[in-house]
Amino acid sequence: MADEMARLEAVVRGRVQGVGFRYLVLDFASEIGLTGWVANERDGSLRCEAEGNRANLERLLELLERGPSGSRVTHVDHSWSEATGRFAGFSVRSGHHLGD
């Protein structure tokens, strides 16, 4: 069901750092009412954990697969689970985050 609340965890690989990816995700996720976070990882990937209705999370996944201009997404590992309700909003985390 598209209305069901869910959690998306994704790791985006390729040329995904230094191209404004995190802020594109932040703006998009905030605009469509998702909660969670996005961060650059030390290995050069980008990690995103988001919660909201499944249809909007699928839209976010499409954005992650496409990326901003200047990026080159080669692969997106993702998984779905039940929403936890732990996030108050959507944020950019530093590369030294502890995750959730």
Can you list the domains of the chain with their CATH numbers? 5-83 (3.30.70.100)
- Specify whether 56 is catalytic: no
Instruction: Verify whether residue 22 is a known catalytic residue.
Output: yes
Q: Which of 40, 47, 56, 93 is catalytic?
A: 40
DSSP 15-80: E-SSSSHHHHHHHHHHHTT-EEEEEE-TTS-EEEEEEEEHHHHHHHHHHHHH--TT-EEEEEEEEE
pTM beyond 0.85? yes
C-alpha 86/C-alpha 50 separation (Å) is 10
Which residue of the set 22, 47, 53, 56 is catalytic? 22
pLDDT digit string, tens, across residues 37-89: 999 999 999 999 999 999 999 999 999 999 999 999 999 999 999 999 999 99
The secondary structure element, H or E, covering residue 94 is: none
